[in-house]
């Protein structure tokens, strides 16, 4: 009651803004890593590989977002690149989950659909999703390039490249991931086209 409503609002939105600006600034500190990942992703696409994306809950919608980003670019003139999200196939997902358990879902799909020249991109807000970890492990066994977008302290997930969104808020982690995968898409095209 001591503060005017406008001050409360300013404080509230200042906190909402800072909660995002800090991990975004941290992401900017990894710009070199992002460029290196994209260089390797471009190599895979040039070799005929496809991108396989997966995550649970909110990140499953990100997986679909990444797939559509690559398949149907929003920037006119950019070539379409093959990408699939594993949660779009609800029949297989629920079938494997019912038979072999949810932890096996992505690994099973990757063993069926993955090829050595492919790229696996796993998303996990805290880096501890068992089915994402197993999916990445199955991808690595096939010789796929493995990339993970995680959050919090990064969690136990293992991949060739791990980008960590440094926030304890899973919603903010998601927002950092959206920026990260938009950059992954954009820089992959930069390397494919051979011009910065």
Partner 1 sequence: MTESLYPFLCTGQSAVDLAEVAASTRAKIADAIALRQQVFDFDAELLEACAEAMASRFAAGGRLLAFGNGGSSTDAQDLASLFVSSSQLPAFGLTNDIAVITALSNDVGFDVVFSRQIATFGRAGDIAVGLSTSGSSTNLLPAFAQARRRGLLTVGLAGGDGGAMASSPDIDHLFVVPSSSVHRIQETQTTLYHVLWELTAAALESR
Which residues lie near partner 1 (CB under 8 A)? 9-10, 12-13, 16-17, 20-21, 24-25, 27-28, 31-32, 34-36, 39-40, 42, 46, 57-58, 61-62, 64-65, 68-69, 72, 74-75, 171-172, 174-175, 178-179, 182-183, 186-187, 190-192, 194-196
Q: Are 44 and 96 in contact (CB under 8 A)?
A: no
Q: Are 60 and 90 in contact (CB under 8 A)?
A: no
| Nearest-approach distance from CB 27 to partner 1, in angstroms | 6
Burial class (CB in 10 A: 0-12, 13-18, 19+), 154: middle
Burial class (CB in 10 A: 0-12, 13-18, 19+), 142: middle
Please say which residue, 31 or 100, places its beta carbon nearer to partner 1.
31
| Nearest-approach distance from CB 79 to partner 1, in angstroms | 14
Name every residue whose Cβ is closer than 8 Å to that of residue 92 and which is 6 or more positions away in sequence: 108, 109
Please say which residue, 137 or 144, places its beta carbon nearer to partner 1.
144
| Nearest-approach distance from CB 58 to partner 1, in angstroms | 5
């Amino acid at each position: 009651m001591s503060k005017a409503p406008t001050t409360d609002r300013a404080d509230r939105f200042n906190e909402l803004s800072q909660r995002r600006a800090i991990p975004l600034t941290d992401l900017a500190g990894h710009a070199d890593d992002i460029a290196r990942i994209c260089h390797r992703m471009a190599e895979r696409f040039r070799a005929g590989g496809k991108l396989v994306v997966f995550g649970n809950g909110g990140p499953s919608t990100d997986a679909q977002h990444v797939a559509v980003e690559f398949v149907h670019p929003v920037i006119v003139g950019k070539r379409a690149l093959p990408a699939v999200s594993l949660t779009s196939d609800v029949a297989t997902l629920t079938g494997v989950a019912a038979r072999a358990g949810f932890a096996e879902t992505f690994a099973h799909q990757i063993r069926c659909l993955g090829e050595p020249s492919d790229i696996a991109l796993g998303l996990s807000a805290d880096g501890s999703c068992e089915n994402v970890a197993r999916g990445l492990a199955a991808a690595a066994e096939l010789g796929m390039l493995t990339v993970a977008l995680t959050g919090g302290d990064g969690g136990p997930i293992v991949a060739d490249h791990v980008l960590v969104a440094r926030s304890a808020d899973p919603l903010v982690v998601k927002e950092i991931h959206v920026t990260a995968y938009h950059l992954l898409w954009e820089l992959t095209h930069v390397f494919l086209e051979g011009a910065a």
